[in-house]
Amino acid sequence: MHIHILGICGTFMGGIAVLAKAAGHRVTGCDANVYPPMSTQLEAQGIELIEGFGAEQLSLAPDIFVIGNVVTRGNPLMEEILNRGLPYVSGPQWLAENVLHDKWVLAVAGTHGKTTTASMLAWILEYAGLAPGFLIGGVPENFGVSARLPGEPRQEKGGRSPFFVIEADEYDTAFFDKRSKFVHYRPRTAVLNNLEFDHADIFADLAAIETQFHHLVRTVPGNGLVIANGREQSLERVLQRGCWTPVELFGVDDGWAAGAPDEHNGFEVMFNGQSQGRVQWDLLGEHNRMNALAVLAAARHVGVPTEVGIVALGEFRNVKRRMEIKGVVNGVTVYDDFAHHPTAIATTLAGLRASVGKARILAVLEPRSNTMKLGTMKAALPGSLADADRVYCYTANLGWDAAAALKPLGDKAETHDDLDRLMETIAREAHSGDHILIMSNGGFGGIHQKLLGRLSV
């Protein structure tokens, strides 16, 4: 079958392209904006990529068009597909019908940490010899790709693994299906990491998102497992609306809990008050300890002993663009991180602060997500950036006054609408021993490598 994917360079749709190609389909696709790591991953898979959404792509004559949620009415290719009555389907529906329908799906949902947590879970299952398939919104360093089909388990011959790990996004499915993506996945193991207000472009308030999470909970079977953050009142409200599945909580004493970290970030894992072992790793922050608890519970549900999961976490390598060190030049360390919600920004900075002590942190922020562009979260930004010594905000194409929003930070914050001037300002300010944390959910104009180059001069 030939499938043509509209919006192929998004992390989710790019993952679908990889899975479809691996399943033996001919895959082509188009998009308007292309940047790594997805563009390079598609090239490596031999998937033909077309720039733009021109109606002339109908000449490819695919068997079906798979539509990403970046596509809206008015898109010239989509309009012609509709006018001619050609077959089309959303990405989540295609995935559910062609990949997930006969799998034990382990879905990781939540406002924050989905990519890292799903990557940890896939790695534990891989380490345990279960050869899971996965689709993750980033590139886990342990695998080097964001998606793959299930493989052959270590202890079995001739059969494919039944397990599939998926990052379960609450964003809407497509312009013609406004349900959250994750309602298509029908998980047997569901991780509910956290739940805050986000995606202000499609959700009116937190209650609207809670409703979508409850739709997800309704799809988990009675012989499945819901693993929920026991510290989140929002998730408690979701479960109180009805749950027909056993629930395990993490982050609380009467469930999965983490001891205080030692000087090397190692910590003890507790379940119902009983020690399960000690994770030895170098990941930073309380949020990653919570992620670890969630995945140990999920892996245990599919038969991985907790002690095996703990050892696997010691060999976990993080995801690209999650506190990824891009380089060290003249004593200045430059990091790339995907943080774009105030809670994620605060959590990332807190983890870095705990690691570097009193060293200076220069935080560089591009408010690029739809929610951030709307200014919905602007009042929370100053507090989220409190752990930084200097703050630089890139304001090009921003519809609200970032300088006014960051005024509570005083002289330590400044805004720039010119990328080159922003980069030069940071380069002049930085000195040996500093840590530059660049936060964006986009390519940010390639600032990371440009800045490293400038620092080397």
Flag whether 203 is in a domain: yes
**Whether residues 14 and 128 fall in one domain:** no
**Whether residues 60 and 30 fall in one domain:** yes
- For residues 412 and 391, the answer to whether their CB atoms sit within 8 Å is yes
**Whether residues 203 and 140 fall in one domain:** yes
**Whether residues 15 and 110 fall in one domain:** no
Chain segment 2-54, per-residue pLDDT in tens: 999 999 988 899 999 999 999 999 999 999 976 666 677 788 888 989 989 99
pLDDT score of 89: 98
- For residues 338 and 364, the answer to whether their CB atoms sit within 8 Å is no
Per the structure, the count of domains in the chain is 3
Q: What percent of the chain has pLDDT over 70?
A: 96
Q: Which range among 91-95, 219-223, 379-383, 441-445 shows the weakest confidence by mean pLDDT?
A: 441-445
Pair of tokens at residue 202: 């499609």
pLDDT score of 174: 96
pLDDT score of 137: 86
Among 298, 313, 318, 343, CA closest to 108: 298
Q: What gap in Å lies between CA 329 and CA 332, rounded to an integer?
A: 5
pLDDT score of 457: 74
**Whether residues 301 and 234 fall in one domain:** yes
pLDDT score of 157: 64
Flag whether 199 is in a domain: yes
CATH number at 138 reads 3.40.1190.10
pLDDT score of 275: 96
- DSSP one-letter code for 99: I
pLDDT score of 3: 97
**Whether residues 226 and 167 fall in one domain:** yes
CATH number at 58 reads 3.40.50.720
- Average pLDDT for residues 396-419, to the nearest whole number? 88
pLDDT score of 13: 93
Average pLDDT, the chain: 91
Flag whether 97 is in a domain: no
Tell me which of 49, 69, 91 is where a domain ends.
91
Flag whether 318 is in a domain: no
Does 432 have pLDDT greater than 80? yes
**Whether residues 155 and 303 fall in one domain:** yes
Flag whether 338 is in a domain: yes
Confidence of residue 375 (pLDDT cuts 50, 70, 90): confident
**Whether residues 445 and 330 fall in one domain:** yes
Tell me which of 293, 313, 333 is where a domain ends.
313
Tell me which of 37, 58, 91 is where a domain ends.
91
pLDDT score of 450: 86
With a CB cutoff of 8 Å and minimum separation 6, the contacts of 137 are 11, 12, 15, 114, 115, 118, 146, 167, 169
The larger pLDDT score, comparing residue 380 to residue 199, is at: 380
Flag whether 16 is in a domain: yes
**Whether residues 288 and 372 fall in one domain:** no
**Whether residues 115 and 58 fall in one domain:** no
Chain segment 332-359, per-residue pLDDT in tens: 999 998 777 788 888 889 888 888 889 9
pTM of the model as a whole: 0.78
Confidence of residue 445 (pLDDT cuts 50, 70, 90): confident
- Which contacts of 42-45 are long-range, i.e. CB under 8 A and separated by 24 or more positions? 42/8, 42/9, 42/14, 42/17, 42/18, 45/17, 45/18, 45/21
CATH number at 391 reads 3.90.190.20
- Average pLDDT for residues 364-390, to the nearest whole number? 83
Flag whether 96 is in a domain: no
Flag whether 319 is in a domain: no
The larger pLDDT score, comparing residue 263 to residue 61, is at: 61
**Whether residues 308 and 329 fall in one domain:** no
Top mean pLDDT of 109-118, 184-193, 421-430 is at 184-193
The larger pLDDT score, comparing residue 115 to residue 318, is at: 115
**Whether residues 307 and 381 fall in one domain:** no
Give the structural domain span for 382. 324-455
